[in-house]
Structure 1
Amino acid sequence: MKKQSLAYFLDDLWAKGFKLTDEDVQFIYFGKNYANAPDWKVVVALQVTLRFQHAFDGSFYLSVLDLIGEEGVQTKKQAEDLLARKGFQLTYQ
C-alpha cells in the first residue's frame, strides 16, 4: 500500500471541498515537526480528527498524533488497532 504524502492529502481535502485555513495548515506542520512524525502518522491523525470532530481541532489532532507516536506504532494497521482500542473506529464495518 502506497503511503500518502501530507501535502497530497491536504490538496485532496481542498479538492473535495474541505477548506483548512492557512493557520490550520501551519499548525498541522507544527505538530508534525513537534512530534517528529512521518507523513503517514500525520495523515492518520488528521483523518481521525476530521472524522470525529467534523472540523480541524488542533488540540485533538496533537493528542492523536502523540498517542500514535508514543505507543511505538510502526504501521498504519497498528495505528488503526490502537485507535480502535481507544474507541476510535476508523474502518467501516
Structure 2
Amino acid sequence: MGTVQDYLFHLQTKGFKLSQEALGFIMFGQKYTGASDKIVKIAIEATLKHQRDFDGSYFIALLEGLKRDHIEDEKSAQAYVRRLES
C-alpha cells in the first residue's frame, strides 16, 4: 500500500467507507502540511483508532504536529502517536 489512495481503497475493502468530507480533509491536510503518503496513512489510522470515526480537525491537528516536530519517517511518526495516546 504505497499511496494514500491505495490505503483508502484498502480501508474500503475492509468495509470502512469514508465520507466525501473526510476524503476532502485528507487531501487538504496532505497538501497543507506537505506530509508524505506514509505520514498521512499513519495519521489516518491514528485518527480512526482514537476517534472511532474520522474527525477532520483531529486529523489536521495531528498532521500539523508531525510537521511542527519535523517528523518525516514512519518510525518517528508512530512514536509520536504513541506519546499522544499516553
Is the pair's TM-score, using the shorter chain for normalization, greater than 0.5? yes
Counterpart position of 1:45: 43
Q: How many residues align?
A: 86
Uncovered stretches (5+) of structure 2, i.e. residues with no partner: none
Does the alignment pair 1:11 with 2:29? no
Q: What do the CA deviations read for 1:1-44 (whole angstroms, capped 9, x no partner)?
A: xx731000000011100011112111210111111111111101
Q: How does 1:1-93 map to 2 (within 5 A)?
A: 4-87=2-85
Uncovered stretches (5+) of structure 1, i.e. residues with no partner: 89-93
The RMSD of aligned alpha carbons is: 1.4
Identity of aligned residues (%): 33
Distance 1:41 1:29 in 2: 13
TM-score w.r.t. the length of structure 1 is 0.84
Contact 2:18 2:54 in 1 (8 A): yes
Q: Which has more radius of gyration?
A: 1
Q: CA deviation at 1:69?
A: 1.3
Structure 1 runs of 4+ with >4 Å offset: none
TM-score w.r.t. the length of structure 2 is 0.90
